Structure formats: structure tokens, C-alpha cells
Structure 1
Amino acid sequence: MSLLDRPLVDKTRVVSGFRPLKVLHHFRKLIADKEDTEQVFHIIEATKGKRSHQQAWDFIRSEDGQRFLREGTDIPALLDAHENWADLPENSVGQHYIRFMKSEGLTAQGLVDESHKWAPPEQLPQDLTQWYFERLRDTHDLFHVLTTYGRDALGETSLLGFSYSQNHNNGILFIAYAGARQIKKVTGTKAPLFASVREGQRNGKAAAKIAHLDVAALMREDIDEARARLGIKPPLIYRECLDILASEGYSTQELGLSAEESPQPQAA
């Protein structure tokens, strides 16, 4: 079935609301292994509500949404074709994206594959609503590049605060604050972790919705000009937290471990 032939909402789709026991079960697994991205998709699905669905439907019906549907661009394939962006200026979004993905050993397709561990494509509703939610997934690493939140535990946690204000999924916000609580529990840091998440929420609310953008055009923009155009503010409290954690002897690689694996401060 082509995109244009799909219904807005498939008859199998359920707006489930909040299922706290399911959320808790998968969050415990995520805490045990913060790289287990599959658990994030379980939590998001257990907390999708009417607001996130309404945003999807409004965008799908919009002029840009209809244009993107007609174009049918495969965003992961577009982003992973690094050769398309190799000749862009050094400060372009595309060049920053390539450097970030290479330094982290990531691909856009890799995130797609992780989501399929949660639910194979054939088990998902074949509707335009699913197309929109996949668009949110496929632009996740662009969020990192544009906001400058790192992939350390606090960076991911604070970016979830930003993402919540972009997509209104309560599960995202739950993971964000629970993640900040876990970092506090593990490190005992004096850094204002919860303030970093709140800053992410404010910055996400103030910014244009990244998943609603023309990704190919965005990649060609100067990154400073793109951030200014989109209203993306620097995450000052997050950076302050990293400085405090470093002064306490913790590296970003250590953050996010379970309490049983609590890292010890490094000698100065």
C-alpha cells in the first residue's frame, strides 16, 4: 500500500492512554541498560495519548504534511547517504550531522532497526498516523545535532525534555525525569539535573517543530542560521551540570548506570 492510499487512522489503531505498570516494567529494563533503545519504544507506546495523536493528524492535513506525503522521502535513507552532504560547507547542518553520527558510530537505519525489535512493521497500523510517528523517530539524531545535547545519560535525558515539548508524549517526560532521578541516585551530584530537564522542555516549546521540517533543505543550511531561524536556544543548564559532574570526578561515559553499578569518583 502506497503512502497516499493509507487511511488517516487505521481501524486497528488504539489510543491507549497511560499504562503505568507497563511503563514501570520497561523503564526498569532501560535503567539496567541505557543502550537498550527498544525499551524506549515500549514506554512511548504505553503513553501515547490524544494530544500526540491530534498533533499528528493536524500535521498530516497541513500543506507541508501533504507535500511530504506526496514526495514520499525515506528519511533514514536520505540521512544515511552521507555522500549527498560531503560537499556542503563545514558549518552546514549536514556536515555537523555526518561528524556526529560517525563519532558516535550511529546510523539512521540503526534506530529504525531498534524500533522494529519492539514491533515489526507488519504488526503496526498501516496508516498515515504511523507515518508521522516514524517521522518523529527518524529525526531524533537531528535533534541532538541542532540542540547540542550529547548522548551521555544527562544529554539524552535533557533532550527528552526538549522532545516532550515537541511531541507531547507523556512517556517521554516520564523517562526524562526518572532518568534525572537515577543519575542523582547513582552519583549524588549537586548538579541541577531536574533544572536541565525543565530547560529542555522550555527550549523545545520555544523552538519550531523539527520533525515538521523539510529535512533535505535543513541539511544544506548553515547550522547557526538554522538554529536562529528555528528558535533553538543553547542548553546552558545542561552544560553547567556537565561541568559540575566533571568537577566531582564523573565522566559522561559513566552516567546512567544502575545503582548496583554505581561509578566511583575518579582521582583528581
Structure 2
Amino acid sequence: MDIDWHGKQPCQSHDEAQPKGSHLSLVFVAFFFPLCFGVNGFGGVLKAFSIPRMKRSSAPGSSFKRSSFAGFRMTGPFELDPDLAKELGLVTNAWSHLESNLTTLFCILSKLEMHVAAAIFDLFKSTPTQREALLRLAHLSPRTGPHMETIKTLLKDYQKLAERRNEVAHNPFGVREQAVYIMLKTKGKPGRYGIPYDTRNISSSEIKTLREDVSEFMDRLMLLNLALIEDAKQTALL
């Protein structure tokens, strides 16, 4: 059979198009596939890896739509729990405000101009690095005064909040047995299915609680910043 190198495929007869060994392929699918994957076939594989089963869509013309495959449609986590996306967005927004207030704290303790402090603090990408930098500045800064214990407590709480926030911000969500779950890395140890991931159920109410905790933390942080600024003003007047 000649090949058209300009990208056009030549016409083939049915006999030419039929690959050799196709009968062996059918034997493999019919006999070896159930042996490899169990009597549930591919559905057993989906169940083993906690991949949600696809539901048949009854809507006309539903085949090959978004999140669908050959007439089957997967129920997504944001459909099963509509408030999930809203709460994730609110947590993300609250966290951005929290980070800006941490930058303000860095600015106050370092006595740098705000734009300079922001440029430097932005280099500290990880939570432990941010926490360590702020703690060292707090020990060195003459502005800390009676606020040292408050700063230590806030930064310890910040570490715990960051771990909770990173969990929901950097891991995928899915649906299993009509419940939303989140996939979590198992830190190198194999999970239930031999891969370094495990799952646990999660809901929008849990993320709402996280958002409320972030907002409460931010209020405490803002009060600390205002107190430090007021102390600096009083010192400047002396």
C-alpha cells in the first residue's frame, strides 16, 4: 500500500484495513482481560483506584458533552456539593489578605519601606521560611517589646492554618459513592492501592470552618500590626 506523505490516507478495502492478528486480540479481550482485572472488568479497575463510576445521562444529545464519555456523564465534586467551589474561592481570597498582613508585619519589624519589604518577603515562598524570618526579626527588632509572646503564638497558629489551607488548595477532589473526597499524598508511603496517595471525605462545611479560622487569625494579626505601629509612633514622639 502506498503512503501519501502529504498527510492524506489512501483508500483501503475492508480486508486491508483489518489488522493481522485481530482474532488473537479478541481472544485476549474475551479471556485474559477478565483474568487480569477480575469479573468486574474495567469497572473493577475504576473501583480499585477510587475513580467515580460514570452515570448514564438521560438528557437528549448528552453524549460527548463536557465530563462525559460515550453517553455516560461523571458527577463532579462541585455538582454534588455546590458550595464547595464558593468556599474554596472565599478561602483563597481570605488567604491573600492574610499574606498581605504578614508582609505588613515584616515591614514593621524590619523598618523597611513597604515596597522594599514586600519585594523581600515575596522571596520567602514556604510557610516555615516565612515563619522563621518573622521570628528572627521579632527577636532583633526593638519594636517588639511586650508583643513577643503574641507574635510567637500567631506564627505558630499560622503554621497550622497554612497546612490546612495547602491541603485543600493543592490536592484534587473527586466523588465516590455520592460523597466528595480529597486525594492526599502519603509522604512516600504507599496508600491502600499501592500508590503514594490516600483519600478522605471532605465537605464545604469543613472548608467554611477553615475560612472562618483564617478570618479570625487575620483579625488578630491586624490588631498586632496596629499595636506595633502605635508603639512606633509613641517612641518617635519621645
More helix per residue: 1
Question: Scaled by the length of structure 1, what TM-score is found?
Answer: 0.23
Larger radius of gyration, structure 1 or 2? 2
More strand per residue: 2
More relative contact order, 1 or 2 (CA 8 Å, 6+ apart): 1
Question: Scaled by the length of structure 2, what TM-score is found?
Answer: 0.25
